[in-house]
Amino acid sequence: MEPILPMEPVKSAAIPTGEEWIAQVKWDGVRILTYADRGEVKLYNRKKNERTMHYPEIGNLSEYCASQSVVLDGEVVSLGEHGKPSFQRVMRRDGIRNRDRIERAIETVPIFYMIFDIVYFNGAWIQDKPFHERAELLTRIITPNKHIQLVPSVSYATGLLDAVKQQDMEGIVLKRLNSSYAIGKKRDDWLKVKNFQDLIAVIGGFTLRHHTINSILLGLYDSNGRLHYIGHTGTGKMTVNDWRELTEELRGMIIGHLPFDNLPQRHKDAIGVRPEKTVKIKYAEWTEGGSLRQPSIEGFIEVPPVECVLERS
């Protein structure tokens, strides 16, 4: 079975009204689709990269699913401080490339698979069925356990968003009850309302303090392929060991100049690196000068740098 590109929600500043909408928590994790057919189970992320090795807790379908022929859509999350989903934490698991490290990771970075949709069932694609029918089917065939959960749907979207804000979580997703699953598309039948802004940026340089990185310089590409400096950050969900590992990695990527088209004046002492490593950044807003206000590191993520583009709105 060939992997598909998942449906994506459209960004919205407001919560729609009407009984045709339900709301779900937007989990801050890794989008994973589970493909099972003819006794074989494989996992792929939203970019169609295989992740079967990374999450063996999901691979034994018979432990939680009554059908052996399905495509499930969900989010893999790992809980961090105060029991909240941590993108930084789950990316430590997703970044594993050595199979020998998986067994230890199962213990040190436990995960949950939050299932919210099904698009294939018993040998047939069902993406054109309305969302409420697909959701009802999930409740019949999925048995939650310590690693597998169904994402609850509620009608009180405003109350859910308030609760998400109180917990400093990512946001909520609104879905039309009669919506189909638009494979590989963004469509306003699904809306995301964020508690905070985030984006994926390219690291173009860094500064040092006592031989360890204390801030990274961030960039996004314009339509002409030029890398624009958009700010720097030395804060976020990083441990002392994380900074040491980042220092070691970026030292191997040093070049003789900063790769930005617009050189940051306040960082003349910064060390340039090949713009290859990408990072998820949380921020408050854009400044009038075209940089991020209060950026902080959420976690490192494997995204082609050319996909990190300026899309301010």
Q: Is the pLDDT of residue 168 over 90?
A: no
Same-domain pairing of 24 and 61:
yes
Question: What 3-state class would DSSP assign to 36?
Answer: strand
**173-205, pLDDT tens digit by residue?**
999 999 999 999 999 999 999 988 899 999 999
Same-domain pairing of 179 and 212:
no
Quote the distance between the C-alpha of residue 65 and its chain's center: 24
Cα torsion 46, 159, 312, 272: sign = negative
**15-59, pLDDT tens digit by residue?**
999 999 999 999 989 999 999 998 899 999 999 999 999 999 999
Asked if the structure places residue 145 within a domain, the reply is yes
Query: What CATH number did the domain enclosing 243 receive?
Result: 2.40.50.140
Q: Is the pLDDT of residue 312 over 60?
A: no
Q: What separation in angstroms does the CA of 72 have from each of 65, 145, 295? A: 10, 16, 34
For 256, counting Cβ atoms within 10 Å of its Cβ (0-12 exposed, 13-18 middle, 19+ buried), the class is exposed
Q: Calculate the average pLDDT of the chain.
A: 93
Asked if the structure places residue 107 within a domain, the reply is yes
Cα torsion 10, 46, 70, 84: sign = negative
Tokens of 219: 């960039």
pLDDT at residue 41 in the model: 96
pLDDT at residue 313 in the model: 46
Residue with tokens 């999901």: 58
Asked if the structure places residue 28 within a domain, the reply is yes
Range of the domain at 88: 8-194
Same-domain pairing of 66 and 137:
yes
Look at the chain and count its residues.
Answer: 313
Q: Is the pLDDT of residue 157 over 70?
A: yes
Distance from C-alpha of 195 to C-alpha of 283, rounded to nearest angstrom = 11
For 155, counting Cβ atoms within 10 Å of its Cβ (0-12 exposed, 13-18 middle, 19+ buried), the class is exposed
Give the mean model confidence (pLDDT) for residues 265-282: 90
